[in-house]
A and B are shown apart, each in its own frame.
Chain A
Amino acid sequence: MNNIKKLTKKDILKTAFRHFLGVTTFNYDTGIAPTIVWELFPVLRKIYSNDDDLVLSLDNHFRYYNCNPWLSPLITGATLAMEEKDGVKSIEAVQNLKTGLMGPLSGIGDTIIWVMLPTIFGAIAGSMGKNGNPLGMWLFLAVFLVCFFLRPYLYFVGYQTGTNLLSKLGQKLDAFTDAVSVLGIMVIGSIVSSTVNVQTGWTFQTGGVKISLQSILDQICPSLLPAILVFVLYYMLKKKVKMATLILAVIVLAMVGAVIGLFKA
């Protein structure tokens, strides 16, 4: 199974640049999976000479994946090393690793890239710019440009980490697959509560006191409605309901809910 066709530095760099498709492909079914498929396709083609294996791998990467694109290369770099070494045998581990790490790395990446840096340099640029001085603005741009040129190297870090991890794991890939699936499942439990947002706008009048249904629900269990929504959708998917149908159903539910005031933004 060990491949003769080793991935070269050029392959990795090319993949890193193809990753700049970024979140333009984001969709509700599969997140930024199309970006991952697109960036990995040339190297996967190199790894899998057999079309059936290639489609297996592509189908795996077409599954839901959403990660801050700055740190995502750490994950896909590592999974690339796994697929290079173990081929289709590694697909389950690849999927679990992606699911387990995408949440936490997004948490770090989003905080640094979208909150910390813009807040610091935005405050500088904004207060200088108000007085007609563009220096802060150029500084802001320069910081992000530097980060931009450093980004492709994260792919090498991920790939190297993945390679080292694999040489340590040896024959214990099954145990590793199970273990990271636990990590992934816990992370999904967490992001359901932090990312899905469903709130009811209904209120009750009791003895002249207005009580909102949402505050009662929050006392029973915070994020109860998002959890119920995810479980209903999960159950439907298990019953082989198509994803497009579910997306449409959710939109109709949201619209109808907005009309009758059941849901609030």
Chain B
Amino acid sequence: MGLTIKEIVLISLLSYVYSLDRHSTQIAGKITILYGALAGLILGNFKQGLEIGATLQLMSLGVANLGGASMPDYPMAAIISSTIAITSGKGMAAGMAIGLPVGMLGMNFDVLVKLINSAIAKRAQNFAHKRQFGKMTRTIPLATLIYPLESTIPVFIAIVFGKSVVQAILDFMPQWFTVGLNVAGGMLPAVGFAMLLVYMPLEKYGYWLIVGFVATAYLKIPVLGVALLGAAAAIHLYQSIANKKVSNQVSENNSNLTEEDMEDE
């Protein structure tokens, strides 16, 4: 394909900036159309890039990335689709034929990046324990720098090697591997929640877990609704503990008084 080295670098850089912003400053993470248009601008065909981005933007409506779940990466697909469409001259369909599968592939790499982040987090905490706070604060942003590679690497491979290589990689990866990564992505949040529970006073208040679970699993109440119920329970508990303390103090004071009174008598 007729891409100059300068164009390859700029497009790769665009995908890096996209992913960096999407996960940190979060200004344009959902503006798929912008990335189609910017890729078009780099390659000298703003209008076609804009139209491809617009098409993918409309496809992505309503698809959100929530609670750490993995979702297709539409802006990444837009960058690749625009690039392929413009440089191959074969139009939107040819571009999206590569852009969309790679966008789907990107969501699987998400799981891998989050595993690398685990190692970085652990390292940072070890530095904290050793009182090496400078090293700790320098270690954490490594995650920020590494994270965008999940977009840059697939985009680079897709625009440099094109459809044949992408197809070969997709064919080479057995289906169970991609399904497995997906399943793992659904299961792994459980580890974090289990860890949270370890720190909560479950012996004392564990039964509220059932209330929260039933509310969402059976009654389909969204988390905000459950939190409002939880707030009601919390207010009730707070008042009863606070009142108990007050009445204990009052009764202590009373008994002190009576003892003193008796002594006086």
* Chain A proximity of B73: nearest CB distance (Å): 14
> Quick check: is B3 within 8 A (CB to CB) of the other chain?
no
**Size of interface on A: residues with Cβ below 8 Å to B:** 118
CA distance A137 to B230 in the complex (A): 41
Contact with B along A58-79 (1 / 0, CB 8 A): 1100111010011000000000
Supposing A114-B66, A223-B213 touch, asked if A185 and B26 sit within 8 A by C-beta, the answer is: no
Within 8 A of B (CB), among A149-172: 172
The one of A29, A189, A263 that contacts B192, using a Cβ cutoff of 8 Å: A29
Q: Are B47 and A132 in contact (CB under 8 A)?
A: yes
Among A5-13, A80-88, A193-201, A205-213, the stretch that binds chain B is A193-201
A63 surroundings in chain B (CB, below 8 A): 195-196, 199
Instruction: Please state if A179 and B61 are interface contacts (CB–CB under 8 Å).
Output: no
A107 lies within 8 A of B224 (CB):
yes
Residues of A within 8 A of B209 (CB): 185-186, 188-189
The yes or no answer to B190 lying at the interface (CB within 8 A) is yes
Interface residues in B169-228 (C-beta closer than 8 Å to A): 176-177, 179-202, 204-206, 208-218, 221-224, 226-228
- CB of A125 closer than 8 Å to a CB of B: yes
* Size bin of chain B's contact surface: 35 or more
Tell me the bound Cα distance from A195 to B55 in angstroms: 30
- Identify whether the interface residues of B are mostly helix, strand, loop, or mixed: helix
Residue of B nearest to A233 (CB): B194
Query: Among the listed A99, A191, A238, which residue makes an inter-chain contact with B200, where contact means beta carbons less than 8 Å apart?
Result: A99
Q: Tell me the minimal C-beta distance from A165 to chain B in angstroms.
A: 12
Other than the given A104-B226, A237-B198, 9 more pairs (CB < 8 A) read A24-B20, A95-B199, A125-B54, A132-B47, A172-B242, A178-B238, A191-B216, A222-B217, A250-B188
Given A55-B131, A182-B205, A190-B221, A226 and B58 contact (CB-CB distance below 8 Å): no
Least Cβ distance of A171 to chain B in Å? 9
Query: Is residue A216 within 8 Å, beta carbon to beta carbon, of the partner chain?
Result: no
A191 CB to nearest B CB, Å: 6
B199 contacts A187, C-beta separation under 8 Å: no
